[in-house]
């Protein structure tokens, strides 16, 4: 089990929503929320600088890619990247039926507007054929990804560095806000090339004593193991105690300190399969469940589906009574304000990284991703600090003596905050100025000229 000292990190506590402006804070409170850190390293900063793959992983990946001699690798890697980014959920049967009924009704209404004798049977047949044809043309045809060794190598060239960057950034949220957390076990569902193992090892090192990677693709498991061994079958793996499986452990009583699923929900056929997978993973979670998806509308919606299931679903048999609590990125457990808006825009974040040094790859790239971290609520809670934090949902706009912050706040609303030193205090202003998209800032939430609901 992971070891930690409870009460050491009150930032992550969401037991009560406390709103304030710095004008209402005492001088000691304004100093205390910094916890002795510099403004540019205040407790809400969780962004990372440009990430590089670990050197040994980079060397192993380049060796595998060069030895594989995959033809048109650069073009295929770009095509696969675009395909995975544009991937959508499979449409469920009820939605498809509703779409068909609506289309059929529309076609009948158009036909009835025409005068003259109508052969209803012939017209009905024609409309049905038209409905089927239109549904085939406009409906997304979801198919499962089946990775053999060659496609696995293409995936390595396309997604190894970007996937690592997204997962590493998500895990940094736990490491920064819960520094006493020392996980000893990890379960990665849909492990692919093992990027979660490498990202977790870079966060917590050798405290992790057991890492179980589950992926239904045997060739992907083999590639992941080759990466761990530096593409040398006789070598010892760079990271020890990593075990590969094609199926999840059966016993619901076996738990892991950290459970992850990165870019995996999109590979499950329907909402029922996704919900079952999420609840299974939650039962195996001792401390933190981390879900990562593409920073698209589809990715964000899948994570919000998972969030709703974890917070609301009542299970018949409960092995761990500790309830789910949203740890990040949401500062609340209300309906996602971005999801409720029209037009809908996803809640996503960016992480800059250096890709594998291969032909056609730029020096630096940005990975846009969405993530969700859910924790087990402990019965012993730290005393509230009197400070709540809002999540920055867009790049900070720095202007002369003021900054514009678009944030998701603990009351479940999106706010456009105009922060100045005169109105909000030097500490809050400097923290906001040194923060960026994805970080947290001390909440400033008051119905005055400096705070307004963000229309985006």
Whether the per-residue pLDDT at 20 is higher than 50: the answer is: no
Identify the residue whose tokens are 């609840």.
Answer: 279
pLDDT given at position 447: 41
CA 367 to centroid of chain Cα atoms: 11
pLDDT of residue 32: 67
Q: Is 338 a domain residue?
A: yes
Instruction: Point out the domain boundary residue: 358, 376, 394.
Output: 376
Residue 423 CA to residue 397 CA, distance in Å, equals 18
Count CB atoms within 10 A of the CB of residue 309: 17
Q: Which of 355, 376, 397 is the last residue of a domain?
A: 376
User: Whose structure tokens read 């076996």?
Assistant: 254
Cβ atoms < 10 Å from Cβ of 37: 13
Which residue range is the domain that position 426 belongs to? Answer: 17-33+385-453
CATH number at residue 361: 3.40.50.150
Here the tokens at position 231 are 């593409």
In a domain, 42, yes or no: no
pLDDT band at 104 (very low <50, low <70, confident <90, very high): confident
Q: Indicate whether 310 and 329 sit together in one domain.
A: yes
Q: Are the CB atoms for 272 and 309 separated by under 8 Å?
A: no
Residue by residue, DSSP assigns 246-287 as SS--S-TT--EEEEEEES-GGGSSSHHHHHHHHHHHHHTEEE
Pairing assessment for the beta strands 324-328 and 365-376 based on DSSP bridges = antiparallel
Query: Does residue 455 carry a pLDDT above 70?
Result: no
Domain count along the chain: 3
DSSP for residue 343: S
The pTM for the full model equals 0.85
What six digits make up the tokens of 382? 């730290």
For residues 228 and 333, membership in a common domain is answered with yes
Asked if residue 411 and residue 272 are part of one domain, the reply reads: no
| pLDDT tens sequence across 243-279 | 999 998 878 789 999 999 999 999 998 899 999 999 9
CA dist., res. 361 & res. 74, Å (int): 8
The residues pairing with 375 across neighbouring beta strands, listed in sequence order, are 288, 325
Together in a domain, 227 and 166: yes
- Calpha distance 177→455 (Å, rounded): 30
Query: Does one domain contain both 392 and 326?
Result: no
Place of tokens 């202003």: 429
Name the most confidently modeled range: 92-101, 111-120, 338-347: 338-347
Question: If phi over 0 gives left and psi between -120 and 50 gives alpha, with beta otherwise, what is residue 387?
Answer: beta
Task: Provide the pairing of β-strand 365-376 with 185-189.
Answer: unpaired
Same domain, 125 and 233: no
Within a domain: 118: yes
Give the range among 67-76, 323-332, 394-403, 441-450 with minimum mean pLDDT: 441-450
Residue where the block lists tokens 């029209």: 342
Q: Per-residue pLDDT tens for 354-382?
A: 999 887 777 899 999 999 999 997 643 43
Residue 12 lies in a domain: no
Q: How far apart are CA 423 and CA 428, in angstroms?
A: 10
- Say whether both 303 and 250 belong to one domain: yes
Looking at the structure, do residues 335 and 397 belong to the same domain, yes or no? no
Judged against a pLDDT cut of 90, whether residue 49 lies above it is answered with yes
Is residue 163 in a domain? yes
Residue 222 forms part of a structural domain: yes
Q: How far apart are CA 319 and CA 55, in angstroms?
A: 41
Residue 88 forms part of a structural domain? no
- Assess whether 354 and 397 both reside in one domain: no
């Amino acid at each position: 089990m992971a070891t930690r000292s409870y009460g050491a990190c009150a930032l992550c506590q969401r037991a009560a929503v406390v709103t304030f402006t710095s004008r209402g804070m005492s001088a000691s409170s304004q100093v205390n929320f910094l916890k002795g850190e510099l403004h540019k390293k205040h407790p809400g900063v969780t962004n990372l600088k440009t990430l590089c793959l670990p050197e040994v992983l980079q060397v192993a990946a380049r060796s595998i890619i060069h030895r594989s001699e995959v033809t048109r690798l650069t073009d295929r890697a770009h095509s696969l990247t675009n395909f995975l980014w544009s991937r959508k959920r499979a449409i469920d049967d009820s939605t498809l039926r509703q779409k068909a009924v609506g289309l059929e009704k529309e076609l009948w209404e158009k036909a009835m507007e025409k005068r003259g004798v109508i052969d209803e049977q012939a017209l009905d047949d024609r409309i049905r054929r038209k409905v089927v044809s239109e549904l085939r043309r406009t409906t997304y045809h979801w198919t499962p990804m089946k990775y053999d060794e060659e496609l696995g190598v293409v995936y390595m060239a396309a997604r190894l560095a970007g996937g690592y960057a997204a997962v590493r950034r998500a895990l940094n949220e736990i490491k920064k806000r819960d520094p006493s957390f020392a996980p000893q076990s990890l379960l990665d569902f849909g492990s692919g090339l093992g990027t979660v193992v490498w990202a977790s090892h870079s966060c917590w090192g050798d405290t992790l004593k057991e890492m179980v990677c589950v992926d239904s693709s045997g060739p992907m498991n083999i590639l992941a193991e080759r990466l761990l061994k530096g593409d040398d079958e006789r070598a010892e793996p760079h990271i020890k105690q990593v075990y590969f499986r094609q199926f999840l452990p059966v016993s619901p009583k076996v738990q892991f300190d950290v459970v992850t699923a990165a870019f995996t929900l999109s590979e499950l056929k329907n909402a029922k399969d996704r919900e079952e997978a999420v609840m299974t993973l939650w039962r195996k979670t001792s401390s933190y469940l981390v879900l990562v998806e593409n920073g698209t509308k589809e990715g964000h919606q899948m994570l919000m589906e998972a969030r709703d299931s974890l917070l609301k679903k009542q299970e018949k048999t409960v092995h761990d009574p500790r309830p789910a609590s949203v740890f990040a990125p949401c500062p609340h457990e209300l309906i996602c304000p971005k999801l409720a808006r029209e037009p809908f825009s996803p809640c996503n974040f960016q992480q800059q990284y250096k890709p594998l040094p291969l032909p056609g790859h730029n020096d630096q790239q940005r990975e846009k991703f969405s993530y969700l971290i859910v924790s087990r609520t402990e019965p012993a809670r730290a005393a509230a600090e009197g400070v709540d934090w809002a999540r920055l949902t867009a790049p900070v706009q720095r202007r002369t003596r003021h900054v514009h912050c678009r944030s998701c706040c603990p009351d479940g609303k999106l706010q456009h905050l105009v922060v100045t030193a005169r109105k909000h205090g030097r500490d809050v202003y400097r923290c906001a100025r040194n923060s960026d998209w994805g970080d947290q800032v001390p909440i400033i939430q008051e119905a005055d000229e400096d705070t307004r609901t963000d229309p985006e």
